[in-house]
Amino acid sequence: MKSILLIGISHFGALLAKQLHNLGHEVLAVDRDEARINAILPLVTDAQIGDSTNEAFLRTLGIGNFDVCIVAIGSDFQNSLETTSLLKELGGKLVVSLADREVQAKFLLRNGADEVINPEAQIAEWAAIRYASSHILDYISLDDGHAIYEVSVPKEWIGKSVGQIDIRKRYGINIMAIRQNGKMNLSVSSETILTEHITMMVLGERKAVQKCFKI
């Protein structure tokens, strides 16, 4: 469980607060809008109405006590930039800020953000990979060159063993696990038989996966 300061309860901020609540984290939500604060109260540990660009107000929150500070101010980039800078100056351990464009991300990183998230860009990338292929069901990016993909079993592989298809030798791709009926099985060996009822979790270079699964 982590202690998280969430500043900005816009649509994205509210969704984030809900997910953090479901995961059991302690969340202090901050926003200027009283209506937003009242609406989010059931989903957070505490909530305060306040101006995050006001240094005196931020000091009262004890910034250094939070494991993560998330700036989810989506409507006013100037406020987001000022808030990000102040959080770092006041001892924020990990400051994560929301950006709509690449240029915003660059400014935020230069002014105190440890990490920047761009939800629209990330969802667009995920959707492009997911729906441009007949096999890719989900993926997690690890770096610019590697990712973990959940893939369906190509028709020509059905009934064959992992050893027979040997994608590790042919493409440098590792089958990490298989999922069947919603259950994950990490015990994958060369004798594991691939069927149409399973999906595979594979790790590899993006180019190799694209070539292997004809993305």
Q: Convert the pLDDT of each residue in 127-181 to its tens digit.
A: 887 777 777 888 888 877 888 989 999 889 999 999 999 888 888 999 999 998 8
Within this chain, domains 3-117 and 122-212 share the same CATH topology: no
Tokens (6 digits) for 212:
């292997």
CATH topology of domain 3-117: Rossmann fold (3.40.50)
Q: Give me the residue spans of the domains in the chain.
A: 3-117, 122-212
Percent of the chain with pLDDT over 90: 60
Cα–Cα distance for residue pair 52/31, rounded to 1 Å: 8
Percent of the chain with pLDDT over 70: 100
Span 122-212: which CATH code? Answer: 3.30.70.1450
The pLDDT-based confidence of 215 (bands split at 50, 70, 90) is low
In sequence order, the 6+-apart residues with CB closer than 8 A to the CB of 180 are 197, 198, 199
What integer pLDDT is reported at residue 145 of this predicted model? 83
Counting Cβ atoms within 10 Å, is residue 173 exposed (0-12), middle (13-18) or buried (19+)? buried
Tokens (6 digits) for 48:
């305060």
Count of beta carbons in the 10 Å neighbourhood of residue 196: 11
**For 114-125, what is each residue's pLDDT tens digit?**
999 988 888 887
Question: What pTM, to 2 d.p., does this model score?
Answer: 0.73
Cα–Cα distance for residue pair 143/204, rounded to 1 Å: 11
